Amino acid sequence: MPIYKPPKIRTSPYGTPIVEVAPPHDFLMLVNQPLDLIIPFDKGTDEDLEQGRIVLPRYYFLFEGVKDGEIQFKPYEYNQHRVVVATYKGIITEVLSIG
C-alpha cells in the first residue's frame, strides 16, 4: 500500500492558499513529445493507452507558457490542473509548473 503524502500548501503573493496537487516531475513523460500528439483524458481511449500514446490524467490540460523562446500570457487565476510547458517547434522541452 503506497504511503499517503499530503499536498503542499503555499501562499500566493496576495495571501491566498495554493494547494499543488501534482508536482511537475510527475509529468516528465511529456518532455520530448510533440504537443499535438498529447491526448486529453476526455478524448482518450483504452486503445490509445495500448498503443503507447500519452493520455493526460482526468481534468489536466496543457498550456504553452513558453513557445519558441517567447513567454506567453498566462491567465491570472490559479488552476490546479493546468500543466504549463515550454515548447520549441511544437516539441515539449520542459514542464515548467502545475497551476
User: Structure pTM?
Assistant: 0.73
- Bin 25: left if φ > 0, else alpha if -120 < ψ < 50, else beta: alpha
The C-alpha atoms of residue 78 and residue 12 are separated, in whole angstroms, by 9
Q: What is the pLDDT of residues 15-66, one digit of tens each?
A: 877 776 677 778 888 899 999 999 888 888 889 888 888 888 888 899 998 9
